Every structure is written in C-alpha cells, then in structure tokens.
Structure 1
Amino acid sequence: MSDIKNQIEQEIENARTVCSTEGATSSECAAAWDAVEELQAEAAHQRQKHPEKTSFQQYCDENPDAAECRVYDD
C-alpha cells in the first residue's frame, strides 16, 4: 500500500508541474490530474479489499476464549 501512496505523491507533483507550465485549463493539466484520481481510486479499492481489523477483532484474535469473542453455531 505504501507503494501506491508513493505513486500518488509522484503523480501529484507531476500534475502540479504540468499545470504550472501548460496552464491550469490545458488538456495536459486535466490529464495529469485524471491520473492522480485513478491512482487514488485504486488505493481506495485496495483498502476495501483488505480492510484493517478493528480493535475488537484484534482483541478476539489474541483472546479467542474470551466470552465476548465466542461464536456459537446453530
């Protein structure tokens, strides 16, 4: 995940550079910011695939015999 964060930061810097040289209303500027948005969407998608565990889930992983962590099958 840190790799995609680095890519996002690089693309943001690239977009700022392109927009400062080509102009904020240029198609090149818009394309550069589109690349940033695509990477941000991919990062969000990856977070949804692998959500971080909640504190309760971590507690239950460490204490599976705790009363609040027991799971009963019907």
Structure 2
Amino acid sequence: MSETKAKVDIQEQIQAEVEQARAVCDISGSNSAECAAAWDAVEELQAEASHQRQNKPKNSLEQYCDDNPEAVECRVYDE
C-alpha cells in the first residue's frame, strides 16, 4: 500500500470513528463510559496518523546505504 493511500485510509477511519463517537454520545450521554471510550478510539487513531506523518520514507541514498554500509558514499567520518 502506498504512503498516500495509507494516509487517506487513516483519515477515513478517523472520520468514521468521529461519527461513531458522536452517535454513541447522543445515545448514551456525553458523560457515559461508552462516550469516553468512543472518543478514546478517535484519539488513538489521531495519534497513529501523527506518528505516520513523522515516519518519513528514506531517500534513495539512505536505502542504498542500508543495503551497502561499506560503500564509499556511505562512510561517516568523525571529526
């Protein structure tokens, strides 16, 4: 699955969970345990979305160096 597709999927999941949380809170009341649990699920998905945004894909040089750590292009020198 591509990164863009994953971002769209998690945003759709968040939207669905928000709608579900609103429905649960309308039925069981805004101070109920069910309502709190539903909003917790929304928060967890939002945290995951944030985490995914922070995990940037490696560029081609980083990928090459992971596969070929001894290559001249990948050497790191301490000053």
TM-score normalised by L of structure 2: 0.63
User: Does residue 30 of the first structure (1) align with residue 36 of the second (2)?
Assistant: yes
Percent of residue pairs identical: 63
For 1:43 and 1:2, how far apart are their aligned partners in 2? 10
Q: Identify the residue that residue 2 of structure 1 maps to in structure 2.
A: 8
Count of paired positions:
52
Amino acid at match of 2:42: V
Amino acid at match of 1:19: C
TM-score normalised by L of structure 1: 0.67
Moved >6 Å (runs of 4+): none
- Per-residue Cα deviation, 1:20-64 (whole angstroms, up to 9, x for no partner): 00000000000000000000000000000027xxxxxxxxxxxxx
Structure 2, unmatched stretches of 5+, are 1-6, 58-76
Amino acid at match of 2:47: A
